[in-house]
Structure 1
Amino acid sequence: MTTSSTAVDPATGRRGPGVDDLDRLSLLSAVQAEFAARIPATDPEAPVPACGRWRVRHLVVHLGRIHHWAAGQARRRQETPLGRGPFDLGPFYAAQAAELRETLTALGPDATAWTLLGTGPASFWHRRQLHETLVHLHDLRAAGLASGPDAAREPVDVPAAVWADGVDEVARMFQPRQVRLGRVDPLPRTVRLVASDVGESWTLGAHEDGRRPDDPAATLTAPARELALLLWRRLTTAESGVRLDGDEAAVRAALAPGVVP
């Protein structure tokens, strides 16, 4: 199970010295490339199953804008507005994806950047943009599949360790940050997450400011991919096939809107 010696530091997006880590910048490049390759083959007006009223064109523009914004954050500069569009989706996304990759490569992981947790290293954005892109690649694939109960379940081809890293980001960075910002209330009871395929676990609510340790009210067990998509509200508990042990009300509170932005 995850221990303090192997957990990723939320402020840097990296594991401790001497611990094997993911090459998140290379992974980001690969996931961006698959996202870009799917744009021409996907109807821009196709609905995106887990994103409300969004169509594919909204999804592509959103991710492009996020890449552009993140590149500015990494450089500690206010980004130049991209305009309202409409955009030629493929070239638009390719340009913003390239800007982000080139910016992060040129800066290096230790450059001082603006991050969601304050000033920190640019490596924060390697991780954050990898998982932003991975979740939206899942969305794009889901939009391009035939409708049906399994439409959102076709797996994106990344190692389970990458999905586990996304679970860690939510549990140890996003959820406590959402509480600190007043966007959600602190969890009344903690919930344990167990990734059955990688042997890691996390506790939602354990990293909130001033939290006193308690025994988890419930445990959710599933492969890392299913846990990550559950936390990002791309799958329901039924769709994910997660095993729930304990208090269902505590799980509903832990997975409520606002736990991730």
Structure 2
Amino acid sequence: MSKPQLTKDIWLVALRTEGDAFRAALSSGTPLDAPVPSCPGWSLADLAWHLSQVYTYVTGHITRGSLDKPEPRSSDPLPAGVDAASAWTDAFTELVATLDSVDPEQPAWNFAPQAKKAAFWHRRMAHETTIHRWDAQMAGGLAEPIEARLASDNVTEVLDTWIPSGRRSGPADRAGMIALHATDTDQVWYVRLRNAGIALLDTDTLLDSDEHHERATASGSASDLALALWGRVPFDTLLVSGDATLLRGLLA
């Protein structure tokens, strides 16, 4: 697996593009009280409010220059009388301005086994917005796939950041080697599950003759792989062989 070298500017372009698409979903004519099928129990307004809270949380701590963990993010429900679309717009605008101004090398706390730098949040906010853009479009009945390069790194983020930080939603009693193939970007991820543990193998450091002896493989577009790992589409959307039950151990 060749790791993509993405920059602050690339993440900001992705964030703005996906944010514009989220905004378009909010103004598409789909009622804000419409259910979001991929987020059971949430309406489109709830989704917008959730994202606005995430944005506000990140904006509030990324410029501190501190490695100390900030206060927990608010998870209060949408207050009565608050316009969720306007709240999202205000929070998104402030987030983009903050991420644009902050040095990606500036110290900044994060929850994962990653470098404690602001650059973590440029990447994380691009992916957070991307997945929820897909959710928002699904509330209207049809969602666009994730752009291939962005989706490929979304897969990598699940495997090198999300699951290793203890944020797995799938079972933690699976063990074995899994290969994920993105057919449109020609990328392969080799993942070793060790029950609660996970190892993402860097194949750039392995000999071509090494045998991985994968027990399960899943192939499809980078977008479908990312959406499957986030539980947005079923794994049978992909071409799966071997022990398909292992794949559930990769759910973010």
After TM superposition, the score normalised by the length of structure 2 is 0.80
Q: Separation in 2 of the partners of 1:248 and 1:210?
A: 17
5+ residue gaps, structure 2, are 65-69, 202-211
Q: In angstroms, what is the RMSD of aligned CA positions?
A: 3.0
Q: Which residue of 1 aligns with 2:24?
A: 37
Q: Separation in 1 of the partners of 2:169 and 2:133?
A: 29
Give the secondary-structure state (helix, strand or coil) at the position aligned to 2:160.
helix
Q: Separation in 1 of the partners of 2:96 and 2:79?
A: 23
Shift of 1:106: 1.5
- Aligned residues of 1:74 and 1:115 also touching (Cα < 8 A): no
Q: Separation in 2 of the partners of 1:33 and 1:73?
A: 24
1:188 correspondence with 2:175:
yes
Shift of 1:254: 2.3
125, 128, 132: which one aligns with 1:132: 128
Q: Given the superposition, is the C-alpha separation of residues 57 and 125 from structure 1 closer, same or farther in structure 2, using an over 3 Å criterion?
A: same
- Aligned residues of 2:12 and 2:96 also touching (Cα < 8 A): yes
Shift of 1:20: 8.2
Q: Separation in 1 of the partners of 2:8 and 2:183?
A: 20
Q: Given the superposition, is the C-alpha separation of residues 96 and 211 from structure 1 closer, same or farther in structure 2, using an over 3 Å criterion?
A: closer
Q: Which residue of 1 aligns with 2:207?
A: none
1:56 correspondence with 2:44:
yes
Q: Which residue of 2 aligns with 1:85?
A: 79
Shift of 1:189: 1.2
Q: Which residue of 1 aligns with 2:147?
A: 159
Code of the residue aligned with 1:163 in structure 2: it is: A
Q: Separation in 2 of the partners of 1:99 and 1:21?
A: 17
Alignment of 1:135-154 (within 5 A): 135-145=131-141, 151=142, 154=143
Q: Separation in 1 of the partners of 2:218 and 2:186?
A: 13
Q: Separation in 2 of the partners of 1:219 and 1:92?
A: 42
Shift of 1:212: 11
- Aligned residues of 1:72 and 1:78 also touching (Cα < 8 A): no
162, 165, 183: which one aligns with 1:174: 162
Give the secondary-structure state (helix, strand or coil) at the position aligned to 1:120.
coil
Q: Given the superposition, is the C-alpha separation of residues 92 and 212 from structure 1 closer, same or farther in structure 2, using an over 3 Å criterion?
A: closer
Alignment of 1:63-82 (within 5 A): 63-76=51-64, 78=71
1:25 correspondence with 2:4:
no
- Aligned residues of 1:68 and 1:79 also touching (Cα < 8 A): no
Code of the residue aligned with 1:237 in structure 2: it is: F
Q: Which residue of 2 aligns with 1:104?
A: 99
Deviation readout 1:179-209 (Å, 9 max, x if unpaired): 7x99962631121111000011112336986
112, 116, 121: which one aligns with 2:111: 116
Give the secondary-structure state (helix, strand or coil) at the position aligned to 1:205.
strand
Shift of 1:225: 0.3
Give the secondary-structure state (helix, strand or coil) at the position aligned to 1:178.
coil
5+ residue gaps, structure 1, are 9-14, 146-150
Aligned residues: 232
Give the secondary-structure state (helix, strand or coil) at the position aligned to 1:23.
helix
- Aligned residues of 2:152 and 2:185 also touching (Cα < 8 A): yes
- Aligned residues of 2:178 and 2:217 also touching (Cα < 8 A): yes
Shift of 1:97: 0.4
Q: Given the superposition, is the C-alpha separation of residues 81 and 191 from structure 1 closer, same or farther in structure 2, using an over 3 Å criterion?
A: closer
Q: Separation in 2 of the partners of 1:234 and 1:102?
A: 30
Shift of 1:210: 8.3
Deviation readout 1:12-41 (Å, 9 max, x if unpaired): xxx3xxx88970112101211221232133
Q: Given the superposition, is the C-alpha separation of residues 80 and 168 from structure 1 closer, same or farther in structure 2, using an over 3 Å criterion?
A: closer
Q: Separation in 2 of the partners of 1:29 and 1:210?
A: 32
